[in-house]
Structure 1
Amino acid sequence: MTLLLSDPRVRAVPLAENGEPLVALSASLSPDLCPVRLGVAQRLELARQLLPTGFHLLVREGHRSMESQRAIIARYTAEVCAHHPGVGPAELESLVSRFVAPADVAGHVSGSAVDVTLRDGLGRELDLGCPLDATPEQSGGRCFTDSRDVRGEARRNRRLLGEVLGEVGFVNYPTEWWHWSWGDRYWAITTGAPSALHGPVGQLDVVHHVTVSQDVA
């Protein structure tokens, strides 16, 4: 059974903030220079080196402000209510958390999570079964990482993305094939780590120069 971000067990994970700064990803990983925690940036740099020739990572989003997170929650809550008239509060929270995390446990707010896909050498995004950020309603469930409706090349691309990111320590949120994190509460509970490493962080002080270490835990 899928562990959702609204599950009380995720909120119960203790936090041992490690103080890693937010850093801007390189343009080769993220044309928008998305900010993420240092450990996340280092692992993304390592992951891209594991890809076969002709495949490249493309990070669409990293750190997100608390205000942005809450705005996304509000918009998607309205969409879920429209698709599920009469839904109760508990079920609503569960349904919403398939696509957007509660603000207090959100990996994007802590700089721990990235929305990432694959592109080719010309910068064209590859087929992974549905658009990045497509909701369960919009995608007919194909946003779920292991959706049986995703086959062929799209399935192979998802598998490749999962292999290289998993190899360097990221965990996937299984209702969103594009959402991967390291250091947040969901990562901790999924891997058995004793605590999360990253809590909510502001975006005022982003370090723009990163020396990528090959020696990451």
Structure 2
Amino acid sequence: MRRPSSAARTPLTVAALAALALTAVPAQAATPAAHTPDAPSPVAHRPTHPSHGQQPTAPREFVALSEVAPTIRQDIRYFTPHNFVGEPVDGYRSPMCLVTEDTARALARAQRAFLRQGYTLKVYDCYRPQRAVDHFVRWAADPEATKMKGEFYPRVAKDRLFEDGYIAEKSGHSRGSTVDLTLAKLPAAPTRPYVPGEPLTPCYAPKDERFPDNSVDAGTGFDCFDTLSHTDDARVTPAQRANRQLLKKGLERQGFTNLPEEWWHFTHEPETFPDTYFDFPVSRRSLTHHH
């Protein structure tokens, strides 16, 4: 039986909720979301293939999260150069979150509960096309591409990323029911833009030293390739552990399961497409057949 969160509930007025809905514009991107230690489904990869000259499109079960849960903040890191690769990732043509409708509705329910407690969800990554995962694999094979090591994997040798499970050739994100996300305490100012070439700070540094993010302190930044990112790692402070558990328990109530190696990684179950890895781009055009 799931116990309710111990976080104090701070009711929001109707006016405050309305204001939040109007201002919940996707925040500037700032960190990556590339860990993909997801165990691949036993069924073979089956991306959607377009007719000649056309881009693949999403099945009707996919929606834009902003249309179902507009108050959830969006900080889509792979659309920007602020990620472990250090450049915008293939397949991210818009800074938007696409997920299956079941996942979006579950996130909307979780968001309503968090808003009552004075928090908002913020997503870093949602559906991830296979071409983006392929980009990660190519990057991992290049020993010279280490310009973001100082932030995202300071204590891990790049040639260990596959063996240690931080990078894989398939990701559950490509099935549409997995999201990377966190919480931000309201009111939450936007995260400032990342400036390419700026000094890097380890993702496990104290919160006031690492890249500024408007999220709660969960012990590491998003997409931190380090064992400190393990949800139940004993080295985090009590306050950091409480923030991780607040997120985890709130999402579990809506059918999400956490990946133990990444405090920010959750999959809504049962998955709408448990055996299919899609490859349509992250863009509004991928959903145009819906209308």
Counterpart of 1:116 in structure 2 is 181
What is the 5 A alignment of 1:81-92?
83=157
Could you tell me how far 1:34 is from its partner in structure 2? Answer: 0.8
Distance in 2 of aligned mates of 1:112 and 1:197: 9
The 1:94/1:20 distance shift into structure 2, 3 A limit, reads: farther
Q: Is the 8 A contact 1:29 1:59 kept in 2?
A: yes
What is the 5 A alignment of 1:91-110?
93-95=162-164, 97=165, 99-103=166-170, 106-110=171-175
Q: Between Structure 1 and Structure 2, whose CA radius of gyration is higher? A: 2
The 1:14/1:172 distance shift into structure 2, 3 A limit, reads: farther
Unpaired runs of 5+ in structure 2?
1-36, 46-58, 75-94, 147-152, 189-213
User: What letter is aligned with 2:103?
Assistant: V
| SS at structure 1 position matched to 2:172 | coil
User: What letter is aligned with 2:217?
Assistant: D
Bigger shift: 117-126 or 24-33?
24-33
| SS at structure 2 position matched to 1:205 | helix
Distance in 2 of aligned mates of 1:25 and 1:129: 27
Distance in 2 of aligned mates of 1:28 and 1:154: 24
- Residue deviations 1:46-67 (CA, integer Å, cap 9, x gap): 1122225211111111111111
Distance in 2 of aligned mates of 1:13 and 1:65: 17
Distance in 2 of aligned mates of 1:67 and 1:48: 30
User: What letter is aligned with 1:174?
Assistant: P
Q: Structure 1 length as normaliser, TM-score?
A: 0.69
Q: Is the 8 A contact 1:21 1:37 kept in 2?
A: yes
Counterpart of 1:181 in structure 2 is 267
Aligned residue pairs total 177
- Residue deviations 1:158-211 (CA, integer Å, cap 9, x gap): 00101011111111111111010124xxx77xxxxxx9646222245327x9xx
1:57 matches 2:121: yes
Distance in 2 of aligned mates of 1:68 and 1:83: 22
The 1:173/1:100 distance shift into structure 2, 3 A limit, reads: farther
| SS at structure 1 position matched to 2:174 | coil
1:28 matches 2:91: no
Could you tell me how far 1:75 is from its partner in structure 2? Answer: 3.2
| SS at structure 2 position matched to 1:155 | helix
1:129 matches 2:194: no
User: What letter is aligned with 2:276?
Assistant: G
Could you tell me how far 1:13 is from its partner in structure 2? Answer: 6.5
1:41 matches 2:108: no
Distance in 1 of aligned mates of 2:216 and 2:260: 19
Q: Is the 8 A contact 2:99 2:127 kept in 1?
A: yes
Q: Structure 2 length as normaliser, TM-score?
A: 0.53
Q: Is the 8 A contact 1:13 1:196 kept in 2?
A: no
Could you tell me how far 1:68 is from its partner in structure 2? Answer: 0.9
Q: Is the 8 A contact 1:20 1:39 kept in 2?
A: no
Distance in 2 of aligned mates of 1:131 and 1:156: 16
The 1:197/1:47 distance shift into structure 2, 3 A limit, reads: same
Give the root-mean-square deviation of aligned CA atoms.
3.1
The 1:159/1:129 distance shift into structure 2, 3 A limit, reads: same
Structure with higher RCO (Cα < 8 A, 6+ apart): 1
Counterpart of 1:200 in structure 2 is 277
- Residue deviations 1:2-51 (CA, integer Å, cap 9, x gap): xx634xxx533799xxx662211124213343111111101101112222
What is the 5 A alignment of 1:60-71?
60-71=124-135
* Greater share of residues in helix: 1
Could you tell me how far 1:100 is from its partner in structure 2? Answer: 3.4
Could you tell me how far 1:122 is from its partner in structure 2? Answer: 2.2
Could you tell me how far 1:84 is from its partner in structure 2? Answer: 7.3
User: What letter is aligned with 2:119?
Assistant: F
Work out the percentage of aligned pairs sharing the same amino acid: 26
Counterpart of 1:212 in structure 2 is none
